[in-house]
Amino acid sequence: MFQQQALQRVITPSKMIIPYDHKLAPLFIRNKLFSLIPEGTEHIYVAGIGSSLINGDSLGPFVGTLLHDMYSKHLTVLGSLQSPLDATTIEPVLSQLNVPENSFVIAIDSVLGPKRNVNSIVIREGSILPGEGLGQVLPPIGDCSIMGVVLEDNPALESSLFYTNLHLIYTMASTIARGISLTTRQYFHYPSDHPILHNL
């Protein structure tokens, strides 16, 4: 009861903030995504934004790797540890991407945020501006955004992205990937014994 009340304090109609290690976090993610995906959606795209070379920026590629080929008829993954969707590749990839109608795009990225939100997963309606926290100007992406707050928004800490704990990143990525997988499995009526994630 206490955990539910604590979570409700950080939910607004447009945004949800979830502790990355909350045992029910994948279900909270699924519920929020269900509220955002329009009726009649026929395909989901997951854009895992980030670099495989910087620990703190590898959240999106980790999620992409965990979800790759899990639901090939209904889920397309852009960005993985093998083929990152980073500052050098995002514009060429997006320029060649033809997203059909009745598709829904979930953008995932690690971000800097207020100290109180560090180690949280933030879900909101609307696109992500990749690289915004580091002063990069890249095209917006996503019908909704899932952001992992990995560090405090403090210029003095930016170099810490290189040394961010990979256990934190992997656990956060697993939580997000499970939430998206549960969403896809339920939304498109896959059997309940369909695997949820790839094992790395």
Query: What pairing do the DSSP bridges indicate for beta strands 103-113 and 75-78?
Result: unpaired
pTM for the complete prediction? 0.89
Q: Which residues pair with 144 in a beta bridge?
A: 106, 125
Whether residue 12 is predicted with pLDDT greater than 50 in this model: the reply is no
The DSSP H or E segment spanning 133 is: none
User: In whole angstroms, what is the distance from residue 64 CA to residue 71 CA?
Assistant: 12
pLDDT tens-digit map of 69-103: 899 899 999 999 999 999 889 889 888 888 899 99
Calculate Rg over the CA atoms of the chain.
16
Domains in the chain, CATH or no CATH each: 2-187 (3.40.50.1450)
pLDDT tens-digit map of 111-141: 888 889 999 999 999 999 886 655 677 788 9
